[in-house]
Amino acid sequence: MEEVLTNPKLGYYINRDVFGADGDFITSPEVSQMFGEMIGVWAMCLWEQMGKPSKVNLVELGPGRGTLLADFLRGVSKFKNFTDSLHIHMVECSPTLQELQYQNLKCITEDSADGNEKKGINSTITGSSVSWHASLEQVPTGLPTIIVAHEFFDALPLHQFQKASRGWCEKMVDVTENSSFRFVLSPQPTPATLYLMKRCKWADSEEIFKLDHIEVCPKAMDLTQEISKRIGIDGGGALIIDYGLNGVVSNSLQAIRKHKFVDILDNPGSADLSAYVDFAAIRHSAEEVSGVSVHGPMTQSQFLGSLGINFRVEALLENCTEEQAESIRTGYWRLVGEGEAPFWEGPDNQTPIGMGTRYMAMAIVNQKQGVPVPFQ
């Protein structure tokens, strides 16, 4: 899965823009500017709870086109004390997407006085410094940190186990005689079995008993601990928004190409692979680290509603054309609605589908800061 998505030459994310109507799938920031604006509200509230530090690392994991952060920065740009504190760090491995992020954050590269060395990159939206990193561990420590992971965990490589007569066996990918791929079961335990055992320990035996498949994501468990340790030591918090379950995930791995589900093994590298996020495993992983507290998950609809998205949609509808109004209403439904939009009068195959209850939000914060909004 990791190879298919991030292989340096042929990885799905590496050399293309996969987002939006022309790409393979649409994410919340591409649906409406209000999503990024609400994340900005959340981050600024957290910053106030942190005691308004004068310097903060704002980290986004897998920032896509940079749309979320661009809307975030535009939304908070009037609050100078907050924006002056921000040092932005983009964790992104795709050169194509790094370039798009640079453009969407309206970045400029300043040369140093002697013209030899690059002085630094700044976003002209707020004047904040921006830097790029291949992984979270490359982001400097020592400052309070606000981390945003929106639709990042669902693309982390996972392991699937299937119940067989000899116990739980890992599903592996094998090559057939005619060079196509097929799934097989491992003949003996694999390294990921350690994570399976850990995951089963966190669950009710009844919950495990009724399942034929279990997905575990070691990268998600390890990354959660890395995030939690950083927040426990440096202060701050992390917001994780993704589609998933608050319990063991059974068999959710899927491939999407041009907005349609396709076979996972069909032409690897040409379709997006993702899976449901196991929020319970994230919570348990974070709770093993001292100095942090975990809040949620709550639905995306509850999260955005509590942050005031209803007021924002009303304000936007006051000064717009009829065409813009339809786009705003549609975007709002997609973010907070459930199922098909009741007001839709356009073509059936374009009916907006709500993400409000399929997506969940969870926060991990330094426990000295109290409960973050809107989890009180």
Q: What is the DSSP string of 237-253?
A: EEEEEEEEESS-B-S--
Q: Bridge partners of 340?
A: 353
State yes or no: pLDDT of 119 exceeds 80.
no
State yes or no: pLDDT of 63 exceeds 80.
yes
- Residue 152, φ and ψ in degrees, nearest 5: -105, -45
- Provide the pLDDT for residue 19: 60
* Cα 27–Cα 30–Cα 36 angle in degrees, nearest 5: 95
Q: What is the DSSP string of 111-152?
A: EPTTSSSEEEEEETTT--EEEEESSGGGS--SS-EEEEEES-
At 288-338, the pLDDT tens digits run: 999 999 999 999 999 999 999 999 999 999 989 998 998 899 999 999 999
Q: Which of 317, 193, 256, 248 is nearest to 4 (CA)?
A: 256
Element spanning 228, H or E: helix 218-234
Mean pLDDT of 217-225: 98
| % of residues, the chain, pLDDT over 90 | 81
Q: What is the pTM of this model?
A: 0.94
Q: What is the 3-state secondary structure (H, E, C) of 2-50?
A: HHHHHCCCCCCCCCCCCECCCCCECCHHHHCHHHHHHHHHHHHHHHHHC
**Buried b / exposed e across 267-287, counting CB within 10 Å, b at 16+?**
ebeebbbbbbbbbbbbbbbbe
Residue 10 confidence class, pLDDT cut points 50, 70, 90: confident
- Provide the pLDDT for residue 31: 82
- Provide the pLDDT for residue 58: 98
- Provide the pLDDT for residue 117: 62
State yes or no: pLDDT of 116 exceeds 70.
no
Mean pLDDT of 217-239: 98
Distance (Å, whole) CA 142 – CA 341: 46
- Provide the pLDDT for residue 244: 96
Q: What is the 3-state secondary structure (H, E, C) of 190-203?
A: CCCHHHHHHHHHHC
State yes or no: pLDDT of 20 exceeds 60.
no
Neighbours of 190 (CB within 10 A): 16
